Amino acid sequence: MLSKQKQPETNAASAPSESPKDDTNAPFSLKTKEKDEISDASPASRTTPGRPGDDDIVYPTGLKLVLLLTCMFVGMFLVSLDKLIISTTIPQITNNFNSAGDIGWYGTAYLLTSCAFQLVFGKIYAYFSIKWTFMSSILLFEIGSALCGAAPNSITFILGRAIAGLGGGGVMSGVMVVIVYALPLHKRPKVQGFFGAVFGISSIAGPLIGGAFTTKATWRWCFYLNLPLGAIVLILVPFLLDIPDRPNTKVPLNDKLRQLNALGMLALLPGVVCLCLALQWGGTTYAWSEARIIVLLAIAFALLIAFVLIQIWKPDQATVPPRIFIQRSIFSAFWLSSCIGIQTQIFAFYLPLWFQAVKGDSALKSGTDLLPLLLLSFVSSIITGILVSRIGYYTPFAIFGSCLSAVGAGLLTTLEVNSSTAKWVGYQVFYGYALGSMTQAPNMAAQTVLSRQDVPIGASLMFFGQQLFGAVFVSVGQNVLDNQLVKRLANIPGMQTISPQQIQSTGATALLHLVPAAFRSEGLKAYNDSLRVCFQVGLIIACISVFGAAGLEWKSVRKNLPPKRPDVEKVAQGSSDKEIEVKGRDS
C-alpha cells in the first residue's frame, strides 16, 4: 500500500506550507510522502531549508512504541501533577515550618528554574543526545522531589522545588521532542490529544491527591509519590528510545555551547531572581524605599534589558530570534499566554488558602472545593478545541475567553466570609470555563503563523511567558496578601503591634490563632478582605489579557497555504485526491 501512495510527479520541495487536508480518521493510517513534504514547508522557509521528510526516520512499533509512549505519559503526568499538587498542601507546610512568609517561594522556586531553562532546553535537545538529556531531566526531577519530601526546613524545601523545576522543564520539552522520533507527523496529533487529557487529569487530580495525603498521612508523600514512577521511566527509556546521531550532535563541543546562548542565560536567570526577591521583600520585610530593594529592581531590569539586547546582537545564536518575537500574532499570543499563567497561579495558590483559612476547610476539602474551576477549565478546553477544528479560527474564542475571564475573576473578588456554596461554586464554574476557552489559543497561533521549524521556538516561548510571569506574580500576590493582613489585623484590639515578620513566621491558617477569641469574626473578615485584594491582582491581569487576544491575527488553522501560491494549492489538492483514490483501490 505504501508503494502505491508514492506520487513521483509532485515537486513537494517547493511547497511552502502545510496542507489543511492532512486529516485522517485512523490514528495510524498511512499518507503520501508528498503530502508530508508539503507540510514541512511554510512561507518562512524562504530563508531556511525544509526539514527532511518523516521517511528518513525508523519509528518504533508494537509493544516498544506502546511502552515508550506510556513512559512519556508518565513523565508528563508527574511534572504537570507537581505544579498543582502543592496548592492544597501549602498551608500545612507553612504550619510545619512556621514559614508563612515563604509561601510565594514554594511555587516561585519551581517555576523560576522551570521557565528560565525552558528555552535553552530546546537547543540542548537539538545539539546533544535526546535520550540522555531526557533521562538527566527525569533524574533531576527525582532528586528535587526526594529533597522536598525529606526537607527538615523551609530552605531545603525551596531548594528541592528549584531542582525539581529544572528537571521538570527538561521533561516537558523532552516529551515533545521524543514524540517527533516516536511517530510520523500524521500520527502525532492523535497521540498529542492524549497528552492534553493527561495534563487535564493531573490538573484535577493534583489538588485532590495533595489534600488527601496532607489530611490522611503527611504532605511529604506528595513528593515521595514521584520516586517510584520516575524510576520506572529511568529504567525503561534507555531500552525503548533509540535515536541515531544527527548532524547537530556531531559538531564540536565549543560550537554546541555557543548555540546554547550562555551569555543570554547569564543575564536572564539572575535578572529574574533579583526581580522576584525585590517583589518578595518589598513592602513587607523591607520598605520599598530601602536601598536594597531599589538595587534589586535596578539590577533586575538591567539584566533583563541586557538579555533582550543580546538576542538582537546575536540573532543567529539567539534563544528567541527577534524575527519571531516581533511577529504580530506571536507577540500577542505571548502577552495572552503570560496573562493566563498569572491568573492560573494567583487563583490556584490563593483560592485554596481562602477555603482553608476563611471557610475552615481541611486540605482535602479545599482540593475538592477547587474542582469546579479545574473541571470546567478542562471541559471547556476540549469543547473549544473541537469547535476551532470545525470553524478554523481560534481568535474569537480567545477574545470570548479573555472577556469572560475578567467577569469570572471579578466575581471571585466578591467572596465573603459567609458566601454560600452556590456562589463560590458558580463563580468557579464561570471563571473555569472562560479560562479553558482561551488556553489553547497561544499555541494554536504559534503553529499557524510560524514555519514548521520555528514552531518549537514559538511554543516554548508561550510556555516560558506563562511560567515566568506566573512565578513573578505568585510573589506579587504574597506581597499584597502580607501588606493587607498587616493593615487590617492592626485594626483589631490586641493586634495593633502585629508586624510583617510575625505574619511571615506564622503558618497561613495558624495566623488566626493570634487573634483574641472575642474578635474571631473580625479576624476572619480581615483575612477574607486581604485575600480579596489578592484576587484583584488576578482580575487586573484578566482585564488586560483582552489586548493580547484582540491582537491575534484572524488566521484559520484549516487554511495554512499561502494565498498567492495557487500552484502549490493544486499540488496539495492533487496529492489529497490521489490519496483518496489509492485508498479506494486498496479497500
What are the tens digits of pLDDT across the range 282-308? 765 677 788 888 999 999 999 999 988
Structure confidence at residue 290 (pLDDT)? 86
Query: Of the candidates 251, 276, 291, which is a domain's last residue?
Result: 251
User: Is residue 236 a part of any domain in this protein?
Assistant: yes
Statement: residue 316 has pLDDT above 60: yes
Structural domain ending residue among the three candidates 197, 224, 251 = 251
Structural domain span for residue 292:
262-313
Count of beta carbons in the 10 Å neighbourhood of residue 582:
18
For residue 180, the cross-strand partners are none
Mean pLDDT of the chain: 77
Local confidence band at 381 (pLDDT 50, 70, 90 cut-offs): confident
Flag whether pLDDT at 441 surpasses 90: no
What's the distance, Cα to Cα, between the start and end of the chain in Å? 10
Q: What is residue 111's predicted lDDT score, i.e. its pLDDT?
A: 74
pLDDT at site 480? 86
**What pLDDT does residue 400 have?**
95
- Does any domain span residue 569? no
- Number of residues that this document lists for the chain: 587
Task: Tell whether 25 is covered by a domain.
Answer: no
* pLDDT score, position 549: 95
Report the interhelical angle of 441-449 vs 395-412 (nearest 10°).
Answer: 160
Instruction: Give residue-wise pLDDT tens across range 139-194.
Output: 999 999 999 999 998 899 999 999 999 998 888 878 877 877 787 655 655 565 56
Instruction: Provide the pLDDT confidence category of residue 344 given band limits of 50, 70 and 90.
Output: confident
Mean per-residue pLDDT, 411-428: 92
* Other CB atoms within 10 Å distance of the CB of residue 49: 10
Residue 575 inside a domain? The answer is no
Region of residue 494 (left: phi > 0; alpha: psi -120 to 50; beta: else) = left
**Torsion-angle region of residue 31: left (phi > 0), alpha (psi -120 to 50) or beta?**
beta
HEC secondary structure over 515-536: CCHHHHHHHHHHHHHHHHHHHH
The three grid cell numbers given for residue 344, joined into one nine-digit string: 492560573
In this prediction, residue 47 carries a pLDDT of 34
* CA gap 38, 582 in Å, rounded: 19
Give the number of other Cβ atoms within 10 Å of residue 497's Cβ.
7
Q: What is the chain's Cα-based Rg?
A: 25
Q: Closest Cα partner for 405 from 435, 380, 371? A: 435
Residue, of 296 and 268, whose pLDDT is higher:
296
Residues 358 and 397 placed together within one structural domain of the fold: yes
Please indicate, yes or no, whether residues 266 and 334 belong to a single structural domain of this protein.
Answer: no
What long-range pairs does 184-189 form, CB within 8 A, spacing at least 24? 184/36, 184/54, 184/57, 184/59, 185/36, 185/39, 185/54, 186/22, 186/24, 186/29, 186/31, 186/35, 186/36, 187/27, 187/28
Domain identity same for 71 and 154: yes
Q: Is residue 397 part of a domain?
A: yes
Grid cell listed for 464: 516560558
To which H or E segment does residue 509 belong?
none
Compute the average pLDDT of residues 392-397.
88
CATH assignment at residue 191: 1.20.1250.20
Residue 186 lies in a domain: yes
Residue 587 covered by a domain: no
- Nearest C-alpha neighbor of 464 from the set 341, 547, 546: 341
φ/ψ of 393, rounded to 5, equals: -105, 130
User: 91-102, pLDDT tens digit by residue?
Assistant: 788 888 877 777
DSSP 393: B
Residues 117, 113: Cα–Cα separation, whole Å = 6
221 shares its domain with 273: no
| Res. 48: pLDDT tops 60 | no
